Amino acid sequence: MRILVLSDIHANLTALEAVLQAAGNFDATWCLGDLVGYGPDPNECVQAVRQLPNLLCVVGNHDAAALMQIDADTFNPEARSALLWTRRQLSQESRDFLSNLPEKLEVDRVTLAHGSPRHPVWEYLLDTRTATTNFDFFDTPLCFVGHTHLPVLYSQHNSDHLARLNIPEPNQAVPLAERAILNPGSVGQPRDRDPRASFAIYNQKENTWDYRRVEYEIDAVQKRMANAHLPDRHIQRLAAGW
């Protein structure tokens, strides 16, 4: 079973469409949250994700904030400006979908969360020490997370005091350790200095992780953002991947 793993789409329909085309055939979709926020296409992205096969999806912090479940003042000024714009744009249909998303899911051998298994909506896994602590907060062999917009793989072996960090190479299916936390990176707003949309294919039968990147028409997204008067910093960062 080939599973498309997505995270942090951030209302970037052009990037999402490029990912879906590049992914080829897949049997199911696991989305790790933040369908909206920052980008110009919140309703379109929600609608596109809803139609994906055998979908499982968890809520992200921007999704929750768009529903006013998180105070806008917890965001920096530019993110808050984009958030308030998103709140005005969201249709009732999109709100209903986002409001029914769980914070965490367990499916087969995998736990799904946006931030971390310990704090599913908000915690960032940015270092091996934080990742090591989080291995105590899920019981499945694997955990898939997003939130950082960085494609990484943390693995834990019985003899390890700290989790091991690996940044995977694109287009190489790697066998997974018995215990691992994996991040597919961001579809709509990568932050690893690579502006290409990021995603992964998880092969359940072979227990492999195939991390991938795909180019998309960034300038088209930037034009839509400018027309919507979204923050200039968010517009510029798409082209540089930061």
Q: Please identify which residue in the block is written with the tokens 């051998």.
A: 109
Which amino acid, 80?
Answer: R
pLDDT of residue 158: 77
- Backbone φ, ψ for residue 216 (5° rounding): -150, 170
Total Cβ atoms within 10 A of residue 234: 20
Query: Tens place of pLDDT for every residue, the chain, 242 residues?
Result: 999 999 999 999 999 999 999 999 999 999 999 999 999 999 999 999 999 999 999 999 999 999 999 999 999 999 999 999 999 999 999 999 999 999 999 998 999 999 999 999 999 999 999 999 999 999 999 999 999 999 999 999 876 789 999 998 999 899 998 899 999 999 999 999 999 999 999 999 999 999 999 999 999 999 999 999 999 999 999 999 99
* Contact between 143 and 184 (Cβ < 8 Å): no
The reported pLDDT for the residue numbered 161 is 83
Name the token pair of 34: 């933040």
Element (H, E) at 16: helix 13-23
CA distance 195 to 213: 9
Q: What is the pLDDT of residue 219?
A: 98
Q: Selecting from 2.40.30.10, 3.30.470.30, 3.60.110.10, 3.60.21.10, what CATH number does the domain 2-240 have?
A: 3.60.21.10
d(CA 227, CA 30) in angstroms, rounded, equals 31
* First-to-final CA distance of the chain: 33
User: Is the distance from CB of 82 to CB of 34 less than 8 angstroms?
Assistant: no
d(CA 152, CA 238): 20
What are the residues whose beta carbons fall under 8 Å from the beta carbon of 178, sequence distance 6 or more?
Answer: 141, 157
Q: How many CB atoms lie within 10 A of CB 204?
A: 15
Q: 201: which 2 tokens? A: 């294919």
Task: Write out the two tokens for 242.
Answer: 């930061």
pTM exceeds 0.85, yes or no: yes
Element (H, E) at 211: strand 208-214
Residue 160 has a pLDDT of 76
Pairing between β-strand 110-113 and β-strand 142-144 as defined by DSSP bridges: parallel
